[in-house]
């Protein structure tokens, strides 16, 4: 279970401040795979980083009864001058897992070839996402945070990514940011729509997608709070 207690995060902006989450209290149930929906700029990726602890809230806190992955697709834990192998070993030490086993998993999964032993600064965005996804899926977390990474690569790679995700989801939960309705239905059993700093939870995926699609037709100042 992940519990957000009076969580607030804002950033300074020319207009005063940009509020991402506003005194938000919510619970992501244990073992649930929750699609996190919202228009571009709503703050979905920032909320994932708050849950992961990679950025600090302005106020409030995040509580969890289990381990949480870093947001897949976010390479903030990776050093650009280290190779893919070295970055993988660094993350293995950080989370206390076997580094050789994680390297073997990532090398087979990410399909980076010789680039796996080259500095991260030489990688394309897609290669970084493959590495990030592979490292995260190779570690047994209680909740996985996934930010659009299943859209990376060709059809065969996406299919493999979903298969690995399904395997992890047998014993773990997830919060998944995606703009793809088929992916929502394929990966998730709940959904939450983020708008104006608040979350609206749905057990009915179709109702959540309808809410999200309706929001996309409105100017931001007409979204409900």
pLDDT for 93-142, tens place per residue?
Answer: 988 999 999 999 999 999 999 999 999 999 988 888 889 888 988 999 99
Q: What is the pTM of this model?
A: 0.85
Residue-level pLDDT at 14: 81
User: 208 falls in which pLDDT band (50, 70, 90)?
Assistant: very high
Length of the chain: 225
pLDDT tens digit string along 74-96?
A: 556 689 999 999 999 999 998 89
Q: What is the mean pLDDT of residues 55-72?
A: 91
Report DSSP state, residue 68: B
Q: Is the pLDDT of residue 24 over 80?
A: yes
The pLDDT mean for the chain works out to: 89
In this structure, is residue 95 part of a structural domain? Answer: no
In this structure, is residue 208 part of a structural domain? Answer: yes
Number of C-beta neighbours around residue 178 at 10 A: 21
Q: At what angle do helices 99-110 and 84-95 cross, to 10 degrees?
A: 130
In this structure, is residue 163 part of a structural domain? Answer: no
Q: Is the pLDDT of residue 204 over 90?
A: yes
Q: Is the pLDDT of residue 38 over 90?
A: yes
CB neighbour class for 145 (10 Å; exposed up to 12, middle 13-18, buried from 19): buried
Q: Number of folded domains in the chain?
A: 1
In this structure, is residue 209 part of a structural domain? Answer: yes
In this structure, is residue 60 part of a structural domain? Answer: yes
Q: Is the pLDDT of residue 164 over 60?
A: yes
- The parent domain of residue 2 ranges over 1-69+147-153+174-225
Give the range among 77-86, 152-161, 210-219 with minimum mean pLDDT: 152-161
Residue-level pLDDT at 132: 86
In this structure, is residue 35 part of a structural domain? Answer: yes
In this structure, is residue 125 part of a structural domain? Answer: no
**Ramachandran sector of residue 85 (left: φ over 0; alpha: ψ -120 to 50; beta: rest):** alpha
Q: Is the pLDDT of residue 57 over 70?
A: yes
Residue-level pLDDT at 220: 64
Q: What is the mean pLDDT of residues 54-68?
A: 94
Tokens in use for 198?
């608040």
Tokens in use for 15?
């207009």
Number of C-beta neighbours around residue 219 at 10 A: 6
**CATH number of domain containing 31:** 3.40.50.300
In this structure, is residue 9 part of a structural domain? Answer: yes
User: 224 falls in which pLDDT band (50, 70, 90)?
Assistant: low
């Amino acid at each position: 279970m992940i519990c957000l207690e009076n969580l607030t995060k804002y950033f300074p902006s020319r207009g005063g401040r940009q509020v991402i989450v506003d005194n938000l209290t919510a619970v992501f149930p244990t073992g649930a795979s929750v699609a996190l929906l919202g228009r571009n700029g709503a703050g979905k990726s920032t909320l994932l980083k708050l849950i992961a602890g990679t950025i600090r809230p302005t106020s409030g806190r995040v509580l969890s009864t289990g381990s949480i992955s870093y947001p897949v697709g976010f390479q903030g834990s990776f050093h650009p001058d280290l190779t893919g192998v070295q970055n993988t070993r660094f993350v293995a030490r950080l989370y206390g897992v076997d580094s050789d086993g994680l390297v073997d998993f990532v090398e087979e999964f990410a399909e980076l070839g010789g680039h796996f032993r080259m500095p991260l600064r030489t990688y394309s965005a897609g290669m970084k996402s493959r590495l990030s996804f592979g490292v995260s899926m190779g570690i047994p977390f209680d909740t996985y945070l996934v930010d659009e990474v299943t859209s990376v690569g060709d059809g065969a790679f996406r299919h493999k990514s979903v298969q690995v995700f399904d395997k992890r989801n047998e014993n773990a939960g997830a919060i998944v940011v995606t703009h793809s309705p088929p992916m929502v239905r394929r990966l998730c059993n709940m959904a939450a729509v983020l708008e104006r700093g608040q979350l609206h939870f749905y057990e009915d995926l179709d109702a959540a997608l309808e809410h999200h699609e309706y929001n996309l037709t409105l100017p931001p100042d007409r979204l409900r709070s």
